[in-house]
Amino acid sequence: MEGRTMYESVDVKEVIDGRHPPVIFPMIAKSNQGIIPAGCVLAKDSDGKIVPYEVSEEDMTGVVDGTNKAFTLESESAPLLPGTIVLTHGDVELTDNGFGVIGGVGGAGVVDYASGVISVTFGTAPADESDSPKVEASRAVVGVALRPANTSREDVISVVVHGTVLKSSLVLGVDSDAVSQVALDALEGIAIYATL
């Protein structure tokens, strides 16, 4: 008779700052993302499953021929975080106002944050054979991972959705990159406060 036992070593990391009781919800995680670390800032993908928060850079679609001024994108990072859209082409930089309107010197457009659809029209057509306009956008934040979760074996993750967390415990992505100010601001926007 053969028996198999599987052990996994886990680093214990305190995420919660106990000065304000947290609200924690179990949420369904997207499968096979690796191990989401404790303290990871989390978002939802377009299917409503938990994924690490990220800032993406994507190319817009549209013919770059020196005459076309209209470009679109259906972002793979939807739903998007209002106020984080930056669209660039050459010297032109356009941003969203947090309410679905994209503007700036050199163009205007709209964004649907839920679907990730972005449409913009430039004042001057991008030059023939230049690169496509680029969009940098952040996923909408939903919380912070309370404990590590191996998404190849677990489909439910404990998520802090309200309260205070330790700033020193927060990370971005499965590679545990340093947390950004944009992510901290997004957490504060949903009433999760990072303390020292």
Sequence-distant (≥ 6) Cβ neighbours of residue 20 within 8 angstroms: 163, 164, 193
Q: Is 83 left (phi over 0), alpha (psi -120 to 50) or beta?
A: left
- Residue 8 is predicted with a pLDDT of 56
CATH number of the 56-138 domain: 2.60.40
Q: Look at residue 105 in the predicted model and tell me its pLDDT.
A: 94
Please tell me the predicted confidence (pLDDT) of residue 128.
87
Distance CA 24, CA 190 (A): 13
The stretches in the chain having pLDDT less than 50 are 1-4
Signed CA dihedral, 79, 191, 83, 133: sign only? negative
Contacts 24+ apart (CB under 8 A), 47-52: 50/142, 50/157, 50/159, 51/139, 52/172, 52/173, 52/174
- The conformation of residue 21, written as its DSSP 8-state character, comes to -
Q: What is the pLDDT of residue 175?
A: 86
Percentage with pLDDT > 90 across the chain: 76
Q: What pLDDT score does 11 carry?
A: 58
pLDDT over 70 percentage in the chain? 93
Domains of the chain: which residue ranges? 33-53+140-195, 56-138
| Per-residue model confidence (pLDDT) at position 4 | 47
Tokens of 71: 């470009």
Q: Tell me the pLDDT of the chain averaged across its residues.
A: 90
184 membership: H or E segment, kind and range: helix 181-189
The radius of gyration of the chain's CA atoms, rounded to the nearest angstrom, is 20
Tell me how crowded residue 101 is: count the other CB atoms within 10 A of its CB.
12
Domain 33-53+140-195: what homologous superfamily? Head decoration protein D (2.40.300.10)
Q: How do residues 134-147 score in pLDDT, each as one tens digit?
A: 999 999 999 999 99
